[in-house]
């Protein structure tokens, strides 16, 4: 049981959801405003992707990250910033020639994925720890790419959040730790419910938790309707939690959510279980993060 819970809000993600939610944050200003609202609702950390303001689709623009981060940092509320560094890994085989990427393929080198991190120096950034059949696409992240990316994050002095979508990802994250590419007490995020990775259920979360290093901090989330059940399950198993529109669009069946509403709902679950949500300052101390 975790009595001191870090609550992350994943603001917008990169999935094909812009046309599925009428108020999904898309522009840098909307993303920043939603992150600020989530922080005011009690989020310890905000996890940021950015999108193309014109189409709502995937963007890796450092300029968009810069605007969103600047707006959050200039706001009258404190929150830990966690930037994605896992974009540019989508491989969609061409239907006539699977050796070529088809429509929807979006690949970046480790250096390109790291560019916003190296410039903006957030307190946290994600490091996706392997490849995955991600729905109908393939997310590619080879071992050597990961080693190169982990080295860049380490040199920048940013703490990586080790995102694990399956048990093999936990295994490779431990390998990165053994090789000295991850320093200090590691932070893991167990990502559950994405087809075809780890399932969002108690048995899977427990199995992944049991493979973590003894000194690890860890959090978990489930997508869609499993989001709130996984909040409760993670706390009961000793972990931290994540919610947000990246993972789930609804407050209840047929009712669209805001990020702030999802944060409030998760915080209520934690408090009803007898836990408290850590402030950003307490989160920095617990995770040994750089000061903003």
The reported pLDDT for the residue numbered 106 is 86
Q: Which residues pair with 91 in a beta bridge?
A: 138
Q: Which structural domains are found in the chain, ordered by start?
A: 4-287 (3.20.20.70)
The reported pLDDT for the residue numbered 81 is 98
As a whole number of angstroms, the distance between CA 160 and CA 202 comes to: 25
The reported pLDDT for the residue numbered 187 is 98
The reported pLDDT for the residue numbered 36 is 98
Q: pLDDT by residue (tens digit) across 49-94?
A: 999 999 999 999 999 999 999 999 999 999 999 999 988 888 888 8
Q: Dihedral angle at the C-alpha atoms of 31, 221, 124, 7, nearest 10 degrees?
A: 80
The reported pLDDT for the residue numbered 137 is 85
CB neighbour class for 89 (10 Å; exposed up to 12, middle 13-18, buried from 19): buried
The reported pLDDT for the residue numbered 135 is 77
Q: Provide the token pair at 13.
A: 């993600």
* Strand 89-91 to 50-51 pairing: unpaired
As a whole number of angstroms, the distance between CA 116 and CA 121 comes to: 8
* Strand 276-277 to 45-48 pairing: unpaired
- CB of 90 closer than 8 Å to CB of 104: yes
Residues of the chain predicted below pLDDT 50: none
């Amino acid at each position: 049981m975790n009595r001191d819970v870090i609550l992350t809000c994943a603001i917008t993600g990169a999935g094909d959801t812009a046309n599925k939610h009428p108020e999904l944050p898309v522009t840098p200003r909307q993303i920043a405003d939603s992150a600020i609202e989530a922080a005011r609702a009690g989020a310890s950390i905000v996890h940021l992707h950015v999108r193309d303001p014109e189409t709502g689709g995937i963007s890796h623009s450092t300029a968009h990250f810069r605007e969103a981060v600047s707006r959050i940092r200039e706001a009258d509320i404190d929150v830990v910033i966690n930037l994605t560094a896992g974009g540019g890994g989508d491989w969609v085989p061409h239907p006539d020639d699977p050796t070529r990427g088809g429509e929807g393929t979006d690949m970046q080198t480790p250096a390109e994925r790291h560019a916003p991190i190296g410039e903006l120096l957030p307190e946290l950034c994600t490091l996706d720890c392997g490849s995955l059949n991600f729905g109908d696409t393939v997310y590619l992240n080879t071992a050597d790419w990961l080693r190169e990316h982990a080295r860049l994050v380490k040199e920048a002095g940013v703490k990586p959040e080790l995102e694990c979508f399956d048990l093999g990802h936990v295994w490779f994250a431990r390998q990165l730790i053994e090789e000295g590419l991850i320093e200090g007490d590691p932070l893991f995020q167990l990502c559950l419910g994405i087809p075809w990775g780890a399932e969002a259920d108690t048995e899977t979360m427990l199995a992944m938790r049991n493979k973590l290093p003894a000194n690890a901090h860890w959090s978990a989330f489930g997508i869609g309707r499993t989001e709130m059940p996984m909040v409760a399950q993670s706390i009961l198993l000793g972990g931290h939690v994540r919610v947000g529109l990246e993972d789930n669009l609804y407050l209840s069946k047929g009712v669209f959510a805001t990020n702030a509403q999802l944060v409030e709902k998760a915080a209520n679950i934690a408090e009803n279980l007898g836990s408290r949500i850590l402030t950003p300052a307490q989160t920095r101390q617990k995770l040994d993060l750089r000061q903003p």
